[in-house]
Structure formats: structure tokens, C-alpha cells
């Protein structure tokens, strides 16, 4: 029989290392999530706990069975009708990626492009919207992981809402490690996942939906062109006491443990811990002769860098994996051949893991320079 037992330290930009108590919770006996009312109560409890990270008392929070991309697809499927004008705010690989998701459902996409090396240019966006703000909704990414960029989404969402535009925010790689204020900022749909800062297994999508977003879905002229991605099916599950489909009970039980792990610290201590690990990474990487990809707005959850001259990204990643059993991430799109990423989120945002990874990275660079 073939066994899959990876033996490396996973310091990637997601998925992240899962702690022992979360792995144990995933192996516990579970009942029938379709018929057991106690499971629905537990599900709602976990959703309520997520409001601590989302900064909302008004929005409905749901957990769906599927990797984080399911949330992005569901938001676009549920809001978009044919020829709806949608604004895609793009300053990174995943920001740009929303365009394809929207066009699948017939949306008419306008892309506002901004530098990939810093947060969205708010002044330029303001000028753009003064000329054209006739959009049903806008999409933006909180942390664009391929570049390690953190967008300052508060002022952006407030600006969009002042123009009557619904806001859809991908915070998959930031939520839990970065302050998020859904109600205060005017976020209408927030999207996240289990495998990043929460350090649970991949497979769960987290979605928070505002009253304005529900109203937009309910007032559609045409039906939502999906079943699995139809967010409206989740709006009244408590009243109906039924899920749209069978829920992955063991995944949700273990995810609840992962949420408890983060909440065992105060939220601002969690945020501080992530910022401290980012700063440590940046300081050490510069001392190795590595260049940072970004100019500013470095995410507390992932750092993107370029190896010293004469060393390729692939060489560095492979050497570190083969000689030190540490796995780092490459990147995507135009950054795929040049950028390396260290994930310092969730359980990986711990000083012992970060220092060990950086020490081995320093040795790797020395060895590759002197081959």
C-alpha cells in the first residue's frame, strides 16, 4: 500500500501547518449532519465565533463545503446577471482573476488597474469613479498572496459604498491575522477559507453577507445560474433547519477547534504576532541579499522576495526542500519564475518556526552561491 506522509516543514503561503489538536478533532466521531439538530447548533456557534474576526454584528456568516475559490465563484454567481456592469479592482494576480469568474455569468467587466507593488491608488480610483461609477458591485483582494501585498481596503470600500456600489472582498489570505471591520468599512460580501490563517485543513469556504447583498440577490430579474454556488440557499437554513447539501461534519468540528486556537489569544495579540513575524522576515531577508518584491504595504501573513543574483527561485526552493526539509512557495503569473514566498500565517507565525526557516534559508543561499 502506498502511503503519503510528507515530512517537510510547510512554510508556504497556504495551506499552513495544522496543529495537533485540530488534527485530533478531525478524527472524532460525528453524527448525521443532515438530521442531527445539535450539529446545526454547533455549526451556528462556529459561525458566530467567526464574527470576532470579521468585525460584524449585522452580516450573516456561512461555512460552505469547498476550497476558498468556491466563495469567490459563489459571490460572482449570486450577484451577476447578464450585462451587469462590474468593477474589478486589480493590483495583483488574484485581483485580476475576478474578471474571468464574473464573465462566466455574463457580467460586463471593467478593470481598474493599479500597481502590483503597493496598495490600490485611492486618489486614482476616486478620479476614475467620478467619471464612471455605474457598477452593480466591485471586487477587490485584501491580501494578494502571489506578491504578498496587503491592500488598505477600508477607505476603498467606503469610497465604493459612497457611490452606491456593492463591495466583494477576497480576504482568504488575511482574515484572522489582520484587522478586518466588515460593518465599519461597508463590506457587503467577505470571502475567506479554512487553510490559511486559521490553520485548518483545506476544504471549507467562509462567507459573510450583508443585508444589501442579500437584497441584491433576491431582487434579481433572472435566477442564479448555479446550485452549488447559490448563496441564497443559505439565507434561511436556521428557520428551515436544513442545509442545502450534506455538510462535512468532521471538517467543521476540526475547524471549530482551529478557531478556538486563535481566540485563545486576544485578537490584537494575534495581529501583533503576525506583524512581528513579517518584520523579522523582512529584516533577515535583506541581510541575506534578497530583494523584496513590493515597495510598500507588506502583508503580515506572507512575504515575497527575489533570491540574490545568480540564484533562481526554483533552485532556492528545491535546495531548501531537498537539504533542509522546508517547503516554501513559488508564485503565479508574471511572478512565477522569479519570486519566492514565505508564509507566516496562523500556526506558522511562530518565532521558532520563522527563525529556523530563515536560518536554513541563509545556509541555502550560502551553499548555492558557493557551489
Looking at residue 187, which CATH number applies to its domain?
A: 3.40.640.10
Domain boundary among 263, 284, 307: 263
Domain boundary among 209, 239, 263: 263
Distant-in-sequence, close-in-space partners of 328: CB < 8 Å, separation ≥ 6: 11, 12, 316, 317, 320, 321, 340, 341, 342, 343, 357, 361
The answer to whether residue 2 is domain-embedded is: no
269: cell is 495579540
The answer to whether residue 154 is domain-embedded is: yes
How confident is the model over 262-310, as pLDDT tens digits? 999 988 899 999 999 999 999 999 999 999 999 999 999 999 999 999 9
206 and 309 part of one domain: no
Whether residue 371 is predicted with pLDDT greater than 90 in this model: the reply is no
The answer to whether residue 301 is domain-embedded is: yes
Calpha distance 72→191 (Å, rounded): 7
> How high is the pLDDT of residue 180?
98
113 and 226 part of one domain: yes
The answer to whether residue 98 is domain-embedded is: yes
Look over the chain and give the mean of its residue pLDDT values, rounded to a whole number: 96
Measured from the Cβ of residue 281, the count of other Cβ atoms closer than 10 Å reads 25
247 and 271 part of one domain: no
How confident is the model over 79-98, as pLDDT tens digits? 999 999 999 999 999 999 99
Residue range 65-89: average pLDDT? 98
H/E run at residue 208: strand 204-209
What is the 8-class DSSP label of residue 192?
A: E
33 and 51 part of one domain: yes
**Domain residue limits at 357:** 9-15+266-369
360 and 224 part of one domain: no
Q: How distant, in Å, are the alpha carbons of 11, 261, 358, 360, 369 from that of 327?
A: 6, 24, 12, 11, 20
How confident is the model over 165-220, as pLDDT tens digits? 999 999 999 999 999 999 999 999 999 999 999 999 999 999 999 999 999 999 99
Question: In sequence order, what DSSP letters do the residues of 52-104 get, joined into one string?
Answer: HHHT-SSSEEEEEES-THHHHHHHHHHH--TT-EEEEEESSHHHHHHHHHHHH
Residue range 148-165: average pLDDT? 98
Q: How distant, in Å, are the alpha carbons of 53, 174, 234 from that of 56?
A: 8, 16, 18
Whether residue 2 is predicted with pLDDT greater than 80 in this model: the reply is no
Domain boundary among 225, 245, 263: 263
The answer to whether residue 3 is domain-embedded is: no
149 and 62 part of one domain: yes
The answer to whether residue 118 is domain-embedded is: yes
Structural domains counted in the chain: 2
223 and 306 part of one domain: no
Supply the pTM of this predicted model: 0.97
> How high is the pLDDT of residue 177?
97
50 and 33 part of one domain: yes
Alpha helices in 219-350 (DSSP H): 237-240, 249-263, 267-287, 313-324
3-class secondary-structure state, position 4: coil
> How high is the pLDDT of residue 43?
97
> How high is the pLDDT of residue 1?
63
> How high is the pLDDT of residue 73?
98
For residue 306, list its beta bridge partners: 291
The answer to whether residue 217 is domain-embedded is: yes
What is the 8-class DSSP label of residue 178?
A: B
The answer to whether residue 326 is domain-embedded is: yes
255 and 289 part of one domain: no
182 and 270 part of one domain: no
The CATH number given to whatever domain includes residue 287 is: 3.90.1150.10
Calpha distance 56→351 (Å, rounded): 31
212 and 305 part of one domain: no
212 and 339 part of one domain: no
How confident is the model over 219-254, as pLDDT tens digits? 999 999 999 999 999 999 989 999 999 999 999 999
Amino acid at each position: 500500500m502506498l502511503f503519503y506522509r510528507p515530512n517537510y516543514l510547510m512554510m508556504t503561503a497556504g495551506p499552513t501547518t495544522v496543529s495537533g489538536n485540530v488534527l485530533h478533532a478531525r478524527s472524532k466521531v460525528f453524527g448525521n449532519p443532515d438530521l442531527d439538530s445539535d450539529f446545526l447548533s454547533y455549526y451556528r456557534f462556529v459561525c458566530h465565533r467567526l464574527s470576532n474576526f470579521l468585525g460584524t454584528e449585522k452580516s450573516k456568516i456561512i461555512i460552505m463545503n469547498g476550497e476558498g475559490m468556491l466563495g469567490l465563484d459563489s459571490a460572482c454567481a449570486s450577484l451577476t446577471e447578464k450585462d451587469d456592469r462590474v468593477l474589478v479592482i486589480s493590483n495583483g494576480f488574484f485581483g485580476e482573476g475576478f474578471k474571468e469568474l464574473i464573465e462566466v455569468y455574463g457580467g460586463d467587466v471593467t478593470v481598474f488597474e493599479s500597481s502590483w507593488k503597493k496598495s490600490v491608488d485611492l486618489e486614482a480610483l476616486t478620479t476614475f469613479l467620478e467619471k464612471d461609477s455605474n457598477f452593480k458591485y466591485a471586487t477587490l483582494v485584501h491580501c494578494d498572496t502571489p506578491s504578498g501585498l496587503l491592500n488598505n481596503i477600508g477607505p476603498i470600500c467606503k469610497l465604493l459604498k459612497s457611490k452606491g456600489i456593492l463591495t466583494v472582498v477576497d480576504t482568504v489570505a488575511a482574515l484572522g491575522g489582520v484587522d478586518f471591520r466588515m460593518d465599519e468599512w461597508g463590506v457587503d460580501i467577505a470571502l475567506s477559507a479554512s487553510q490559511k490563517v486559521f490553520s485548518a485543513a483545506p476544504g471549507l469556504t467562509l462567507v459573510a453577507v450583508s443585508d444589501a447583498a442579500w437584497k441584491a440577490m433576491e431582487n434579481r430579474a433572472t435566477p442564479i445560474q448555479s446550485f452549488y454556488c447559490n448563496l441564497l440557499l443559505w439565507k434561511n437554513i436556521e428557520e428551515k433547519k436544513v442545509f442545502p447539501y450534506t455538510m462535512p461534519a468532521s471538517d467543521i468540528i476540526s475547524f471549530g477547534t482551529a478557531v478556538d486556537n486563535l481566540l485563545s489569544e486576544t485578537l490584537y495579540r494575534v495581529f501583533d504576532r503576525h506583524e512581528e513575524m513579517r518584520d523579522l522576515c523582512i529584516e533577515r531577508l535583506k541581510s541575506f541579499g534578497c530583494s523584496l518584491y513590493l515597495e510598500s504595504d507588506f502583508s503580515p501573513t506572507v512575504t515575497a522576495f527575489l533570491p540574490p543574483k545568480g540564484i533562481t527561485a526554483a533552485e532556492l526552493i528545491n535546495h531548501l526542500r531537498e537539504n533542509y526539509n522546508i517547503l516554501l512557495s513559488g508564485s503565479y503569473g508574471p511572478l512565477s519564475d522569479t519570486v519566492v514566498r514565505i508564509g507566516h500565517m496562523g500556526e506558522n507565525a511562530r518565532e521558532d518556526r520563522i527563525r529556523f526557516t530563515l536560518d536554513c534559508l541563509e545556509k541555502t543561499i550560502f551553499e548555492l552561491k558557493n557551489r
